[in-house]
Each structure stands twice: as structure tokens, then as C-alpha cells.
Amino acid sequence: ANGYYYSRWIKCMWSSHDLSDMVFIDNYIFNKDVHIQFNSTVGEYVGYTEHGVYNARNWNSDPNILQQERAELERVCKHNAEIRQSTVTDKS
């Protein structure tokens, strides 16, 4: 297909039952290459292309954007993981 391909993949990863090692990763992908990534372990955006570095610098300088992205670990990841984990535990 001609044109451009843009997507955003959000991942929540953990291995412990108490969710203490959970990591939130937010990938911004252009033409199948990650150009910006937020990793909750790092706590800020990292750019992997010239455009990504430019945007990461701008987004990292805005405390509101960073605060919102950092809160996603609790709001999205831990909230949904607790629901899923309790569902599995209830059935076993």
C-alpha cells in the first residue's frame, strides 16, 4: 500500500504476583519503526529518530504531559492487571 503507516502500541509487562515490577511502555510507530518511546522505568520519552528526538525533547519539557504519561502505569496497567489476576485466582 502506498502512503504512511502510523500506530501507537501500549504495553504493560510484569512477572510478579504483587505487580511490583510492572513496566508501562508507550511506543509511537511510524512506518513500522518506533520513533518515540515512553518507558515508566526511565520516566520520560526517548527519541530514536531525528523527528523522535525533537518531539521527545518537547514532550519531556512539559510537566503536564510527563505527569499524565507516568500516571498510566497505575490507571491502565495496574488497574487492569488486578482485575485479570483476580479473575484467574478466583477460577483456580
Among the residues of the chain, which ranges form H helices? Answer: 50-60, 63-72, 79-91
Q: Describe the crossing of helices 50-60 and 63-72 by its angle, rounded to 10 degrees.
A: 100
23, 10 contact by CB (below 8 A) = no
User: Cα separation of 79 and 31, whole Å?
Assistant: 31
Beta bridge partners of 7: 29
What structural domains does the chain harbor?
6-79 (3.10.320.10)
Position 82 scores a pLDDT of 82
Q: List the grid coordinates of 37.
A: 518511546
pLDDT in tens, 15-33: 888 888 999 999 999 988 9
Taking the model in full, what pTM does it have?
0.81
